[in-house]
């Protein structure tokens, strides 16, 4: 079909790297390869009954399988040292980021603490958070990226992501009915934390969307994927952005989420109140949104470097 021209189909990264990839036999004893997803069917059912997201169910199941494979024990024999050893393994050997370690802790706490009522799990200390600033694109860089994309579907995806500050999972899950052209709003449903919200709809993005709609007439999903009845994959969207960055020579290490970071920073630099930006992004806590004050050039651009005030003897 023409709607899929120029697209590459990729298997979900979680399925690639976690569930389908077998452990390396040269570094893991046979006993550590015994746990299977079926062993945690009770965990999966409990998570689904509590309306946890698909990604969370997959991640929690994976970490509990990986943990048992690491220890080579049964769930009834697990103690606090086993958990500490596993987290140390993830931190030192696997070099996992703090956010990933916290997800592993959440997964183990839910199963052993919430479900099996094992109190020792709650004594595990969480690692200190990494204080990393997001990579921000300049308005000129965003313009170059969007202008370089000729495929109307790909252009609409990237324009919506940037213009509304959407997460990549939110943009791929959009339905045609979520676009409100009269009120100039986008209805983001079931976002992070299972919360709905509205974000702004750009006039320019709407114009491109209408052109895309007239050409392809999407039905179930606004951006349909290669398989019938499925939306475009997150990995495909990431590849679209990577190709666009390569085409215009942008070498910053960015992801689709960088467009969301850039949206927030550009709004802040344009004078938009931080509280409104928080609402548009769907942040629960204002502290999460405040990170953009550290990457905004609105105030930093007014500061003059002391070097510029020195009288230097320049060699001719």
| Sequential DSSP letters for 3-62 | GGTT------HHIIIIISSPPPTTTS-GGGG---GGGGHHHHHHHHHTT--HHHHHHHHH
The pLDDT of residue 124 is 60
Question: Is residue 190 within 8 Å of residue 196, measured between CB atoms?
Answer: yes
Q: Report residue 311: phi and psi, to 5°.
A: -90, 100
The pLDDT of residue 108 is 92
The pLDDT of residue 138 is 92
Q: Which listed residue (73, 192, 197, 235) is catalytic?
A: 192
Where are the domains positioned within the chain? 13-123, 139-297
Question: Is residue 245 within 8 Å of residue 254, measured between CB atoms?
Answer: yes
Q: How far apart are the first and last CA of the chain?
A: 65
Query: What are the residue ranges in the chain where pLDDT is below 50?
Result: 1-32
What is the pTM for the complete model shown?
A: 0.66
Residue 84 known to be catalytic: no
Buried b (16+ CB within 10 A) or exposed e, 197-229: bbbbbbeebbebbeebbeebebeebbbbbeeee
Q: What's 13-123's CATH class?
A: mainly alpha
The pLDDT of residue 125 is 62
Residue 266 known to be catalytic: no
Q: Which listed residue (58, 154, 155, 260) is catalytic?
A: 260
* Contact residues for 293 (Cβ-Cβ < 8 A; gap 6+): 268, 274
The pLDDT of residue 238 is 95
Residue 2 known to be catalytic: no
The pLDDT of residue 5 is 46
The pLDDT of residue 183 is 93
**Could you tell me the CATH superfamily of domain 139-297?**
Intergrase catalytic core (1.10.443.10)
Question: Is residue 52 within 8 Å of residue 93, measured between CB atoms?
Answer: no
Q: Which listed residue (58, 118, 261, 283) is catalytic?
A: 283
Express each pLDDT in 260-298 by its tens digit: 999 999 998 888 888 899 999 988 888 878 888 877 776
Express each pLDDT in 141-178 by its tens digit: 999 999 999 999 999 999 999 999 999 999 999 999 99
* Contact residues for 288 (Cβ-Cβ < 8 A; gap 6+): 278, 281
Q: Residue 20 has which token pair?
A: 């389908």
* Contact residues for 20 (Cβ-Cβ < 8 A; gap 6+): 11
Residue 154 known to be catalytic: no
Residue 192 known to be catalytic: yes
Q: Which listed residue (167, 212, 231, 266) is catalytic?
A: 167
Residue 183 known to be catalytic: no
d(CA 311, CA 140): 34
């Amino acid at each position: 079909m023409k709607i899929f021209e120029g697209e590459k189909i990729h298997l979900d990264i979680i399925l690639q790297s976690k569930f389908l990839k077998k452990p390396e036999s040269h570094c893991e004893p046979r006993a550590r390869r015994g746990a299977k997803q079926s062993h945690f069917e009770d965990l999966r059912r409990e998570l689904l009954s509590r309306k946890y997201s698909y990604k969370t169910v997959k991640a929690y199941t994976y970490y509990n399988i990986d943990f048992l494979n690491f220890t080579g024990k049964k769930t009834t024999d697990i103690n606090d040292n086993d958990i500490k050893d596993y987290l140390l393994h993830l931190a030192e050997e696997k070099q996992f980021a703090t956010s990933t370690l916290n997800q592993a802790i959440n997964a183990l706490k839910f199963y052993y603490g919430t479900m099996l009522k094992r109190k020792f799990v709650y004594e595990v200390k969480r690692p200190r958070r990494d204080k990393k600033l997001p990579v921000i694109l300049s308005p000129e860089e965003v313009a170059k990226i969007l202008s370089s994309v000729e495929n109307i579907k790909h252009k609409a995806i990237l324009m919506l992501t940037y213009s509304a500050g959407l997460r990549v999972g939110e943009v791929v899950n959009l339905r045609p009915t979520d676009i409100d052209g009269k009120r100039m709003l986008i209805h983001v449903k079931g976002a992070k934390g299972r919360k709905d919200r509205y974000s702004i709809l750009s006039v320019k993005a709407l114009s491109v969307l209408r052109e895309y709609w007239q050409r392809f007439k999407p039905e179930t999903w606004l951006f349909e994927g290669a398989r019938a009845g499925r939306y475009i994959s997150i990995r495909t969207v990431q590849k679209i952005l990577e190709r666009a960055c390569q085409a215009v020579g942008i070498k910053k290490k960015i992801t689709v989420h960088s467009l969301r970071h850039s949206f927030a920073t550009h709004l802040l630099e344009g004078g938009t109140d931080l509280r409104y930006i928080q609402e548009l992004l769907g942040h629960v806590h204002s502290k999460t949104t405040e990170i953009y004050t550290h990457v905004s050039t609105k105030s930093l651009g007014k500061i003059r470097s002391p070097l510029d005030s020195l009288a230097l003897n320049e060699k001719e």
